Amino acid sequence: MNALTIILIVLVVLVLVLGIGGYIAMSRRTQSREGALLEQLRQAERELAKAHAADKGWDPAIVEAAARDAAQQRYGATDVRSLQLVQVIDKPGTDADQAVFRVETAGGEQTLTLGRRQGVWVPV
């Protein structure tokens, strides 16, 4: 082998190592940003649902209390870790309205939907 062949082999190996290292670094950075972006999207989703509920005249404290009671009955009083309003379904008439909550329990995330029955929020 001559010197030129050795230099070319070393350069090819160096380019491959740098390319693979750059790909790994970029993948890690993308994954770390992805988690933060998903949390920001969830927060925006919650705030939008709260704003929509307030715009429709719903009392957020009453709806959330009803959701917390329903979640504790369904999943156990100690299993409910967090409760987030994620969707407001505003159908014609107040008894057709629905509120969808994401409930975090020891077993994972669950969805809980409440509807109005004669002005009272109940699980659907």
Q: pTM of the full predicted structure?
A: 0.62
81-103 per-position pLDDT tens digit: 888 888 888 778 777 888 899 99
At 112, is the pLDDT very low, low, confident or very high (cuts 50, 70, 90)?
Answer: very high
- Break the chain into its structural domains and give their ranges: 3-123
User: How many CB atoms sit inside 10 A of residue 99's CB?
Assistant: 27
Instruction: Identify any residues that bridge with 47 across adjacent strands, giving them in sequence order.
Output: none
From CA 113, how far away is CA 121, in angstroms rounded?
Answer: 10
From CA 15, how far away is CA 68, in angstroms rounded?
Answer: 57
Assign 116 to helix, strand or coil.
strand
10-64 per-position pLDDT tens digit: 999 999 999 999 999 998 888 888 888 888 888 888 788 777 777 777 888 888 8
Inter-residue contact 77 to 39 (CB < 8 Å): no
How are strands ordered across the β-sheet holding 98-105? 80-89, 98-105, 108-117, 120-123
